[in-house]
Structure 1
Amino acid sequence: MNVVYILLGANLGNPLQQIGSALRLLQERLGALAAVSSLYQSEAWGVEEQPIFYNQVVSFSTPLSAQECLAICQSIENELGRIRHERWGARVIDVDILYYNEEIIEKSDLVVPHPYIAQRRFTLIPLCEIAPDYVHPVFKVSNKDLLLSCEDQLGVIKL
């Protein structure tokens, strides 16, 4: 079985409901839910002039390949009404693969580990809640150490 870590995020519509819906759909389609972080509220990263985000990190044990996981994540985003307007812009739902086993994947449609993990407290804080000792396969340091060295100063609040 494979282990996939996924970041859920939303800041339009009813974010908490959309994150819950995405989690239920992932459970139906990916495999066994292994861990779930608390929900967090965070300031927007990248494009800062937008509503507050809500985020959660989850992990699954899955028989599926990374590409199959990506297809499921994208189909859930589409099903829940995601429309891609602007990079890092406001969204109804975001379902991002953070890690897939300890693999390094660089394809046109999928980069794993997620390229911005080390730069985002809104990702690292919930990730450290469920996998503090997981070692980033590129940087060779734990999520906990990535958080300690993260320069992002935006607010992240546990709900």
Structure 2
Amino acid sequence: MLAYIGLGSNLNHPKKQIKNALIALNYTKGIKVGGLSNMYQSKPIDGSKQPDYINAMCQVDTHLTALELLHVCQDIEIKQHRVREKKWSARTIDLDIIIYGVQVIVSTQLIIPHPKMMNRAFVLVPLAELEPNLKVPVLGPIQNLIDNLDTTKLVKL
């Protein structure tokens, strides 16, 4: 199964945090990182005073279920000292499953496609970099989603 995972960090050397998470993903049994976007810098989405975020997108090939993949991502976050104090607070690492094949999943633990992806340039732009002709389940062509966003504040690193 091809899945896309968004990676983000704004604490403790964000680029290094993203690289460490990618290494951890790739060393996990049943997961092979197959592609990686460039990194992008963006302001916090809530406008709060915290460091800018660094984001990237990776493609993984996995035989894990979506929930198993979620648990792997959460374990990596814990190992990299992710603290969940409040929504949209600064973090060492954030791993979000954005797309899992063509599946649509709605559960108390996981919603796929990611329910906020269509509002986030820092998700869509790097995703389109990996799959420019992607048709996002339920939402349609990725380029149409990007065309509805302001991408001018997203800085490619």
TM-score in same-fold range (> 0.5): yes
The whole-number CA distance in structure 1 between the counterparts of 2:90 and 2:122 is 15
The whole-number CA distance in structure 2 between the counterparts of 1:46 and 1:143 is 24
Who is 1:10 aligned against? 9
CA-CA distance at 1:154 after TM superposition: 6.5
The whole-number CA distance in structure 2 between the counterparts of 1:142 and 1:14 is 34
The whole-number CA distance in structure 1 between the counterparts of 2:64 and 2:49 is 37
Contact 1:42/1:154 (<8 A) preserved = no
1:137 partner letter: P
Superposed CA RMSD in Å reads 1.3
CA-CA distance at 1:48 after TM superposition: 3.3
TM-score where L is the length of structure 1: 0.93
2:27 partner letter: E
Contact 1:47/1:88 (<8 A) preserved = no
CA-CA distance at 1:49 after TM superposition: 2.5
Instruction: State the SS of the aligned residue for 2:27.
Output: helix
Deviations, residues 2-61 of structure 1 (Å, cap 9, x unaligned): 011000000011111110000000001152222110011111113532210000000111
Who is 1:76 aligned against? 76
The whole-number CA distance in structure 1 between the counterparts of 2:36 and 2:114 is 18
Unaligned residue ranges in structure 1 (runs of 5+): none
Which 4+ runs in 1 deviate beyond 2 A?
A: 46-49
Unaligned residue ranges in structure 2 (runs of 5+): none
The whole-number CA distance in structure 1 between the counterparts of 2:36 and 2:6 is 10
Who is 1:145 aligned against? 144
Superposition map of 1:97-112 within 5 A: 97-112=97-112
2:13 partner letter: N
Instruction: State the SS of the aligned residue for 2:138.
Output: coil
Change (3 A) 1:153 1:131: closer
Contact 1:121/1:154 (<8 A) preserved = no
TM-score where L is the length of structure 2: 0.95
1:63 partner letter: H
The whole-number CA distance in structure 1 between the counterparts of 2:112 and 2:46 is 20
Contact 2:22/2:33 (<8 A) preserved = no
The whole-number CA distance in structure 2 between the counterparts of 1:35 and 1:153 is 22
1:134 partner letter: L
Deviations, residues 44-103 of structure 1 (Å, cap 9, x unaligned): 113532210000000111111001100000000000000101111111100000000011
Contact 2:43/2:53 (<8 A) preserved = yes
